[in-house]
Structure 1
């Protein structure tokens, strides 16, 4: 795919502009650790919502969702729409305790609720997952996209992306990241919307002008969001669909609650809120934004199947590239490329800032409680620089994974179900204690690593669970959550109840407490916004079932 001078100028102007904006928005000569890591706790809900959206959407999503739309259809959009329900949980159930506790990191909350050992364990998991998944794999995918689309050398792409993102993340802190995220959210959605628009226009050119006609032109169930459990042609002895309603309904929330409600990279945006209401509204606003990718990132893949299936063939990963080549005019193509960079840089920037915060607050500050504030900032910045270098080295190993999109969802199985268990029970069940939490976490990590070894696979070439038995990875998460929950409850009941300070102000006395209290700002009250989002989601699922 050749790139025109106009497209090159657009990309270059974007890079210079976004770096300058990030540094200008957040840089202070004598910045405090709270400013560096939490934006001075001064951000409002629209910025927080945009930041949550951008921290999640990366080049993997833009390429992967179009690819999966071409291959599997609209059903892959459940990864986006189910996130809306998890963001409602974040805003209504978890955010109040995070904000009221005045914590800087999620492991800090775990220490308050359980123990210092659980805090250390969780901090280590978060740092490794950010380095390996959020930064390393995203960097690899982004570089491969730029190489395939525009002929930019893979190594040069990685170095350029890393340096550009590191500059405004290290110098601008979280405020710089969040302000640039707001701009990048608009650019990202605009680029994706333009591709969808040109795709719909092209459908009209071949005589497809209605949903019914589109349904006739695609594969069976390619436009359906809900699919049955069984499929005679599915891999493995059990013949289970990878993305059936059962897998999505029970499996996604396990990954979703971990990612959206407990992961430092995401929740750090909530901790930066000016008020509790801003944090809660920001989470729910992000839930509204997550409706859009189904229509501007998954649907283009379905359109690509109708228009270019002869050209794309079995190489579904080339769907986005082919559509950009065939549909986008000069200038718009550069805008789309800038959107790809926006998605990638936002994800890396969010993860870099979270790793810096975790290292400074959960490791260095605990080793040196007397450390001055400027030392924490320095340690955070050095950490970000070191991690970006390590991630660059790790990203070169990305080619060893068969499917990146599947890998980034499988890797968290080694810890996500256990983390979801201790947070979910932690806010709803006062009897849960530190012994139960540690037992659940260690059990999940032990079993999860065995699962990864035999099903990525890290050892050998046979995927025993997914391909041989035919158990989808989404269902594996659900089963690991059930087992972790049994471990958590059993060990908690067999050991002493937690002290009062381990539950006071850290968990709900009654599940309905999250819905009680006076309305704040009517339409922008978190409960009203959550109710509107819930109704919209029900309507959308009804229309696309």
Structure 2
């Protein structure tokens, strides 16, 4: 439980964010014409610059799920799940170099809209539905679950009560202010989140006495593999090195390049240059989570083994057996390693992650429901009505997300549960987007049936996995399952594209690369700000980091 000073800091932070969000959204909305209402509300008038885009991308990605579950994974398996953070950098480069130019060139407001321009209306409708559902489950429900666990431990408040209060507060400035309010608050929240995570990392490091004492504890407990990110075949984690390199791109390309909640910040870019530099800037920030989110969990493990961290509050005894629920390890670290005042800052960081994730997802849901579903059937709808529909849909999505919490809480690991669901959703969408921009023969009919059959197969496999965990399918790690499902989808789309050849429109002719080298022929800005220079620097840096922690 935290004290009154830290509680005051947390409350002051929440009130400050709400005030800034409302001010940013309302002030800007007063300046616009009625004809621009929807564009400003959902996409900030397409005026966002690369620093804001990069910070907002990171803030939308990082939530309480990451702070809580990555610390849990660091405690349980070491640096292994850091792969999700560093592999994301490669997909951010893909977004900047290959995807963003088409998104900006086509002038779309949503990614389902892009699919309609590249394929047809059926693909747009299906992606809109799947994207809304995934945003509700992945971006909101799991974040709320992680936030509820933290708030219950720290404040002693009922989990669902605290979640409802934070959700309502976040929804107020998100619904009223639109994307402008979201990106402004997300930029602030990113800074606060990073500051809080760094404070926790330094506190754990100092308590342990440095790197060498940690290594000695790992050696004494025969746990040196916790320092390795590349595990051998047969590793008990189910994530050997080849599963990371085969499975993550399927998950990552969907998440970073084809998920509306994330890419909406890029769609609001001022121009193609800012749309490219924003994701690359985010790529540099994504280097940090391994050191400030995962590493503290590893320090917590060694501290507990050395007797410097009491985790008895996480231990329960039932039917004569003792078990430890490590979901709450981050809150244990907050209360035992930090002095008064600093605890309040770290709690503010946790709230930053929770609120930014919710606000980003709600804004994306409202955008897709308005443009891709409501306007689809009522094309004569005016701008003000679209905004109203978006606000209502955001409220409904929040209620549905809250109702799913008891079901999702059954996962032993929040982070693994999150990625398990993504692994069964992502493959058909990743396939359709990749083939769509790299293969001119990808046809509309093939895309439609790939989305339908691929999604159906994902649901069937997921159900079998949960109902019959001892089956062959139940023994396949989710990363490899994502790869196998992707191969199934590629087979379907290529086969159907030859059976039903593509019939390009004047618009779709412009929305695929004639050659994978074409993007690199675009000159871009001069100097260090050139996207090719920055991309190469990121690639070299990541090769060094993976080699170091192999």
Short-chain TM bin:
over 0.9
Q: C-alpha distance in 1, partners of 2:166/2:506?
A: 45
Q: C-alpha distance in 2, partners of 1:531/1:442?
A: 37
Once the two structures are TM-superposed, the CA of residue 422 in structure 1 deviates from its matched residue by 0.5
Picking from 422, 426, 435, the partner of 1:425 is 435
Q: Deviations over 1:208-235 (max 9, x none)?
A: 547865763561211111111124xx3x
Name stretches of at least 5 consecutive residues in structure 1 with no aligned partner.
235-240
Once the two structures are TM-superposed, the CA of residue 7 in structure 1 deviates from its matched residue by 0.5
Q: C-alpha distance in 2, partners of 1:41/1:350?
A: 16
Picking from 272, 292, 302, the partner of 1:276 is 272
Greater shift in the superposed pair: 407-416 or 165-174: 407-416
Corresponding residue for 2:251? Answer: 255
Once the two structures are TM-superposed, the CA of residue 440 in structure 1 deviates from its matched residue by 1.3
Corresponding residue for 1:94? Answer: 99
Matching of residue 300 in structure 1 with residue 307 in structure 2: no
Matching of residue 441 in structure 1 with residue 444 in structure 2: no
Q: Deviations over 1:47-100 (max 9, x none)?
A: 101111111111111111011111111111001000000000000000000011
Greater shift in the superposed pair: 407-416 or 2-11: 407-416
Q: C-alpha distance in 1, partners of 2:524/2:434?
A: 26
Once the two structures are TM-superposed, the CA of residue 146 in structure 1 deviates from its matched residue by 0.7
Rate the CA distance shift 1:316–1:159 in 2: closer, same or farther, 3 A: closer
Once the two structures are TM-superposed, the CA of residue 517 in structure 1 deviates from its matched residue by 2.8
Matching of residue 194 in structure 1 with residue 199 in structure 2: yes
Please tell me whether the aligned partners of residues 105 and 268 of structure 1 are also in contact (alpha carbons under 8 angstroms): yes
Corresponding residue for 2:320? Answer: none
Matches within 5 A, 1:40-189: 40-189=45-194
CA RMSD of aligned residues (A): 1.7
Once the two structures are TM-superposed, the CA of residue 483 in structure 1 deviates from its matched residue by 1.0
Q: Deviations over 1:88-132 (max 9, x none)?
A: 000000000001101000000000111101100110000111112
Q: C-alpha distance in 1, partners of 2:401/2:476?
A: 31
Corresponding residue for 2:318? Answer: none
Once the two structures are TM-superposed, the CA of residue 504 in structure 1 deviates from its matched residue by 1.8
Corresponding residue for 1:481? Answer: 486
Q: Deviations over 1:382-441 (max 9, x none)?
A: 111222122222224333334332221122233310000000010000000011111211
Q: C-alpha distance in 2, partners of 1:418/1:214?
A: 44
Q: Deviations over 1:140-178 (max 9, x none)?
A: 221122102221221221211111110111111101100
Please tell me whether the aligned partners of residues 114 and 502 of structure 1 are also in contact (alpha carbons under 8 angstroms): no
Picking from 312, 321, 327, the partner of 1:317 is 327
Secondary structure class of the residue paired with 2:442: coil
Q: C-alpha distance in 2, partners of 1:186/1:75?
A: 25
Q: Deviations over 1:221-252 (max 9, x none)?
A: 11111111124xx3xxxxxx512101100000
TM-score, structure 2 normalization: 0.93
Name stretches of at least 5 consecutive residues in structure 2 with no aligned partner.
316-323
Corresponding residue for 1:221? Answer: 225
Corresponding residue for 1:4? Answer: 3
TM-score, structure 1 normalization: 0.94
Rate the CA distance shift 1:69–1:120 in 2: closer, same or farther, 3 A: same
Q: C-alpha distance in 1, partners of 2:98/2:213?
A: 41
Secondary structure class of the residue paired with 1:518: coil
Once the two structures are TM-superposed, the CA of residue 199 in structure 1 deviates from its matched residue by 1.1
Q: C-alpha distance in 2, partners of 1:540/1:208?
A: 17
Q: C-alpha distance in 2, partners of 1:16/1:49?
A: 25
Matches within 5 A, 1:241-252: 241-252=237-248
Corresponding residue for 2:377? Answer: 367
Corresponding residue for 1:338? Answer: 348
Greater shift in the superposed pair: 411-420 or 397-406: 397-406
Please tell me whether the aligned partners of residues 195 and 324 of structure 1 are also in contact (alpha carbons under 8 angstroms): yes
Q: C-alpha distance in 1, partners of 2:462/2:214?
A: 41
Please tell me whether the aligned partners of residues 87 and 283 of structure 1 are also in contact (alpha carbons under 8 angstroms): yes
